[in-house]
Amino acid sequence: MSNMKIAKVGIIGAGQMGCGIAQVCAAAGYHVGVYDAAQDRITAGIANIDAGLSRRVKSGKLTEDAKTALLAHIVPVNGFEGFSDFDLVIESATENEAIKRQIFEAVTPHLKADCIIASNTSSISITRLAATTGRPEKFMGIHFMNPVPVMELVELIRGIATDETVFKSIQAFTLTLGKTTAISEDYPAFIVNRILLPMINEAIYTLYEGVGSVTAIDTAMKLGAHHPMGPLELADFIGLDTCLSVMQVLHDGLADSKYRPCPLLVKYVEAGWLGRKVKRGFYDYRGETPVPTR
């Protein structure tokens, strides 16, 4: 059985990740449909893609014609029935298993029989999500990194029932996007977040226990370990709610106390201080330059 032909790619979720995936797929020449439960988010998301591409045109990295051609590949989709003739549908909603399961249950009846379904989850069991679709053999994890247009890696995760042809088709598809793939087994948080998030959580514990200030911790890791961004700055960039979700998945899934979310991370999320997207997290972003909040 040969690889399945993918020409039309559907994206569910018009947030930063969903729109990033839409952009790289459109840049590779795929027809892309974007759906979000909040229609205004689709408009805002496509406008953000436009703005980002305009900056690249201004800096000479992209021609105006290439920008126009790329945007022409992205269209809004008004409902799940709009994905009826798509070859691949990627869910990129919030990192909440109940929401993702609802989406898969609702979208699957509208898809053609050979449509591949994927999740951009950064931590949740692919096998468990696949079970909600009624066609687990055509389901797998495609975990893009943020920001999608810049980051070179995509993690590919097979569920227990994923068909080998589906896996090979998605692997080939990912390479056409100019990405490098890392294949992970279906364990909580896969490879990148299994290593990265506990490091971030430990940095938050280091702050919580008074070992160092926000500035000291981030400076130490940037200059002492050559990380391009300090762990607390990175947590704000990822979103503290997402960081907490991944740590909870690790803690619940692996039952090891080393994955216990730091109480300070929980407190920041409870306060609604979720990082850059709300202009406050471990740094306050409301002024000219970010100011540590502790």
Interaxial angle between packed helices 192-208 and 240-254, expressed in degrees from 0 to 180 and rounded to the nearest 10: 110
Active site residue 122: yes
User: How many residues comprise the chain?
Assistant: 294
Catalytic residue among 73, 119, 125, 155: 155
Active site residue 105: no
Active site residue 155: yes
Phi, psi dihedral angles at 157 (to 5 degrees): -130, 120
Catalytic residue among 119, 125, 169, 193: 193
Catalytic residue among 91, 95, 120, 143: 143
Transcribe 70-116 into DSSP letters.
HHHTEEE--SGGGGTT-SEEEE---S-HHHHHHHHHHHGGGS-TT-E
Give residue for tokens 């468990």. Answer: 128
CA dist., res. 12 & res. 33, Å (int): 9
Cβ 21 vs Cβ 49: under 8 Å: no
Question: Is the peptide bond between 261 and the residue preceding it cis, with omega within 30 degrees of 0?
Answer: no
For 116, how many CA atoms within 13 A lie in the half-sphere containing its CB?
Answer: 28
Catalytic residue among 122, 123, 125, 169: 122
H-type alpha helices, the chain:
16-27, 39-58, 64-72, 97-107, 126-130, 164-176, 192-208, 214-224, 231-238, 240-254, 263-270
Active site residue 143: yes
Catalytic residues: 122, 143, 155, 193
